[in-house]
Structure 1
Amino acid sequence: MAQILAPSTQWQMKITKSSHKASPITSNMWGSLLLRHDKKGAPASSAKFRALTIKSESGVVNRIEKLLNMDVTPYIDKIIAEYIWVGGTGIDVRSKSRTITRPVDHPSELPKWNYDGSSTGQAPGEDSEVILYPQAIFRDPFRGGNNILVICDSYTPAGEPIPTNKRHRAAEIFSNPKVVAEVPWYGIEQEYTLLQTNVKWPLGWPVGAYPGPQGPYYCSAGADKSFGRDISDAHYKACLYAGINISGTNGEVMPGQWEYQVGPSVGIEAGDHIWCSRYILERITEQAGVVLSLDPKPIEGDWNGAGCHTNFSTKSMREDGGYDVIKKAILNLSLRHQEHISAYGEGNERRLTGKHETANINTFSWGVANRGCSIRVGRDTEKNGKGYLEDRRPASNMDPYIVTSLLAETTLLWEPTLEAEALAVQKLALKV
């Protein structure tokens, strides 16, 4: 992100009573996403969703599409809530649906639920029940109406967070009075790669071969340079509809790779919004027949990897004299470099090589306007003497609950020894 602006004051997405007037994703949008099958005999309908799993020359598909797009809001008060949680790998998103008797405005109005943790790698078969706690709600861009997406975290029946529940610890850090007082803002740049379904090769690339070298693809236009724009645009609009604080999108350096930005968001909200945006992206690529990859280095060689750069600031950083606060934060980050790296995404060592706009994974560095550093400070921040920093180390598959809370903990709650601080000041040439 080029700049962190004032965040939304909403900590939890509320669903208004009038939300049924909004429409889910439009027919033109979905139509442009779908793989171009033979359309002979296809119904000339304006359905918003397409039945992709059935091929028929009869009216069967048409009738299914009508059911998929049926607006039941005028007839019943019930809604569909899609409960979403993080699976056993720590990066996969799972979900299932349930009927709620009436529209809701807050997660506290929703019931807890459960799932089979033995099927997600999160519980043994002999004691497989895992409990879902609703934590944030968003409008459902797929079903429309008053239907909702529900971000949940996972607990044992005794109420203990399971190991893959990183939200619980993040919520503890963000509720600390010192952290609350500093109102931490985050702007997260989520990069991702689109792959062809059967060959797992980037979208737009010749199968088993390579396109021309990097250079013409970043923020480009044209059929020979931009691959997957419809998916990016559909995701952008779906996130806006859902109430996600998405702030922009662009084509990336490697062809078939894209980025979107979420934020500025306050505290735990940043993680909730990123996870919901990832779920929506998974659903859209599913509709489009394209595979989503969050691998930090999907193609080896002279190709950019995929990161999740995290822009961060506190109240003190944003006020006069904030540049000194930023430098103190950088000092703390340098002293906990290995701890951060170990939590910043699996396979990140394949991306952080010191090439392709990255710093070397083993060396901490910072600089003004330097994209080859661990921490980048913008020119405007240096000029104004206040602003934010950009942590360029997180991988595209990082857990946003871990990264955001660790940044807050290291810069606001953790204090280094005087000896370590003195050595770091000298090493980094920081004058704090």
Structure 2
Amino acid sequence: MYDHPAGQSRATLDSTVHYYCAVGATKVFGIQISEAHYKACLYAGLCVSGSNAEVMPAQWEYQVGPCPGTAMGDELWVSRYILHRVAEDFGVIVTLDPKPMPGDWNGAGGHCNFSTSRMKAENGMKVMEEAIQRLEKRHKEHIILYDPSGGVDNSRRLTGLHETAHIDQFFWGVAHRGASIRIPRGVAQAGRGYLEDRRPSSNGDPYLVCEALVRTAVLDDWTDFDWTNMPSKP
């Protein structure tokens, strides 16, 4: 994408309703790139677990994981390189910007599914709720670390519209696509599993996202975090 989605021009763009969950060559763009990228990641030995079209035309998502700890950052970083390289063969420019098209269009997030052994054990839901309480208290720190611009990039995406919670608000819900933290319905029914942090941006640093989650949800300790080279401070 450069100025407009692949397969479209700004002049020919229609409303989101015509592209979301659509089929057909006049409504779906970039599927060949998505599938080629997925196969290339598998060939490279990366732990990719799925891909799907998103709401905006030519907007695609893929999932990395499950991965232990910082391996998630390693896998995502390499997969991004492969995505750019594959797109070259199709003459397409990839953007990781969290709001690639201004206006009434969905942005792009880097949603992070996160769990610990205690969350997956009996009474894991209680452990997740306690972690969510800590995440709420550290919302400002997470927003700063969830995009390379200290929250500036994400502020264009986290508006409270287009399946997002507002950047200045924090709430969680079961199967709620507009929440800061979403608990999948199956997890709530089982009483154990994982939570989904929907705040990270698509261009976020996966290592900082992982560190923030571990510091807050597991360690509850930010005392030795070095803010020196961060774009802003809480």
TM-score under structure 1 length normalisation: 0.49
> Of 99, 114, 131, which aligns to 1:329?
131
- Equivalence for 1:204: 7
CA distance in 2, matches of 1:242, 1:415: 36
Opposite residue 361 of structure 1, the aligned amino acid is: I
Secondary structure of the corresponding residue to residue 282 of structure 1: helix
Secondary structure, aligned partner of 1:397: coil
Question: Within 1, Cα distance between the matches of 2:41 and 2:179?
Answer: 31
Q: Equivalent residues in 2 for 1:158-169 (5 A)?
A: none
Map 1:250-329 to 2 at 5 A: 250-329=52-131
Residue 392 of structure 1 corresponds to 198
More strand, by proportion: 1
Give the deviation of 1:382 after TM superposition.
Answer: 1.2
Residue of 15, 32, 48 corresponding to 1:230: 32
Match 1:404 to one of 199, 207, 210: 210
**Secondary structure of residue in 2 paired with 1:318:** coil
Contact 2:47 2:75 in 1 (8 A): yes
CA distance in structure 1 between the aligned counterparts of 2:191 and 2:34, rounded to whole angstroms: 35
Give the drift of 1:262.
0.7
The residue aligned with 2:165 is 359
Instruction: Give 5+ residue unaligned stretches, structure 2.
Output: 223-234
* 1:334/1:364 contact within 8 Å kept: yes
Q: Which has the larger radius of gyration?
A: 1
Where do 1:17-416 residues align within 5 Å? Answer: 195-196=1-2, 200-206=3-9, 208-345=10-147, 346=149, 347-414=153-220
What is the rounded CA distance, in whole Å, between the counterparts of 2:25 and 2:66 in structure 1? 32
Q: Secondary structure at the match of 2:4?
A: coil
Structure 2 Cα separation of the partners of residues 304 and 239 of structure 1: 26
> Does the Cα contact within 8 Å between 1:249 and 1:259 map onto a contact in 2?
yes
1 CA distance for matches of 2:12 and 2:220? 47
Q: Deviations over 1:331-381 (max 9, x none)?
A: 010000000001111310000000000000001111111111100111111
Quick one: distance in 2 between partners of 1:396 and 1:277?
Answer: 13
1:415: how far off? 5.5
Contact 1:369 1:376 in 2 (8 A): yes
RMSD of equivalent CA atoms:
1.3
Separation in structure 1 between the aligned mates of residue 28 and residue 103 of structure 2, nearest angstrom: 21
Structure 1 gap segments, 5+ residues each: 1-194, 417-432
What is the CA-CA distance between 1:328 and the residue it aligns to? 0.5
What secondary structure sits across from 1:314 in the alignment?
coil
* Greater RCO, 1 or 2 (C-alpha within 8 Å, sep 6+): 2
User: Alpha-carbon deviations, 1:235-281, whole Å to 9, x = none?
Assistant: 00000000111101011100011000011111111000000000000
Q: Secondary structure at the match of 1:319?
A: coil
Q: CA deviation at 1:219?
A: 4.1
Alpha-carbon separation, structure 1, partners of 2:12 and 2:114: 36
- Percent identity, aligned pairs only, is 55
**Alignment deviations for residues 293-333 of structure 1 (CA, whole Å, 9 cap, x no partner):** 00100111100001010000000000001000000000010
Taking the aligned partners of 1:381 and 1:256, their CA distance within structure 2 comes to: 31
What secondary structure is seen at the aligned counterpart in 1 of 2:77? helix
Is the 1:220–1:251 contact (alpha carbons within 8 Å) kept by the matching residues of 2?
Answer: no
Question: SS of the counterpart of 2:128?
Answer: helix
Equivalent AA in structure 1 for residue 8 of structure 2: W
Runs of 4+ more than 3 Å apart:
none
What SS does the aligned partner of 2:146 have? coil
- Which letter does structure 2 place at the counterpart of 1:245? C
TM-score (norm 2): 0.90
